[in-house]
Amino acid sequence: MRSLYLLRHAKAADFTPGGLDHERPLTERGRLQAAEVGQALADPGLPRIDQVLCSTATRTRQTLAGLATAGLEPDCPVTFSDAIYGASPEELLAEIATADGDALLVVGHSPGIPGLVLELADADSDPALLGSVGSRYPPASLSLLRADTGWTDLTSATLSYVRLGS
């Protein structure tokens, strides 16, 4: 059974004219949100992450750092990818297909991350969880999908956990 965690970065500073969106840092609230996600990932009932794919944007890197390795296997490999920044669900799937681990965390952006949750969720997914993702997916939201296929064959999965950011 493969486990796919999809995490939208925590709360970032507002875009400023003349600034670069890619370089927006987390706010203080965002740093706190990232730590809260880390605490949630430390739950012994959740699969431990053995590989991470992360956007190269400052806010996603800071979100990942804020998790403080909670829920991650020791020596968990992390790959930073420009392709995740601004990626559609289909582009995210292409990145996921390159993964080797059994429990993968993808740290990315909206609308790609929540779009992929909705695209992958199968008929066995909890309707209440699915509805919560469909209505909103604020910063620091985390979903867990489980699938019996390899990453290259991933077309659907069961949504089994959602933690909406505050």
For residues 147 and 134, what is the distance between their CA atoms, to the nearest angstrom? 20
Q: What is the mean pLDDT of the segment spanning 57-80?
A: 92
Provide the 8-state DSSP code for 84.
G
Confidence of residue 68 (pLDDT cuts 50, 70, 90): confident
- State the residue range of the domain holding 106: 2-163
Number of domains in the chain: 1
CA distances (Å), origin 110, targets 56, 127, 133: 15, 21, 12
Please say if the pLDDT value at position 72 is more than 90.
no
Query: Angle 94-110-30 (CA atoms, 0-180°, nearest 5)?
Result: 120
Secondary structure (3-state) at 36: helix
- pLDDT by residue (tens digit) across 90-149? 999 999 999 999 999 999 999 999 999 999 999 999 999 999 998 789 999 999 999 999
Please say if the pLDDT value at position 69 is more than 90.
no
39-75 exposure pattern, b = at least 16 Cβ within 10 A, e = fewer: ebbeeeebbbbbbbbbbebbbbbbbbebbeebbbeee
Please say if the pLDDT value at position 87 is more than 90.
yes
- pLDDT by residue (tens digit) across 7-47? 999 999 999 888 899 999 999 999 999 999 999 999 999 99
pLDDT of residue 18: 84
Confidence of residue 70 (pLDDT cuts 50, 70, 90): confident
CATH number, residue 20: 3.40.50.1240
Q: What is the mean pLDDT of the segment spanning 44-57?
A: 97
pLDDT of residue 162: 95
Q: What is the mean pLDDT of the segment spanning 67-82?
A: 89
pLDDT of residue 19: 86
Helix (H) or strand (E) holding 52: strand 51-55
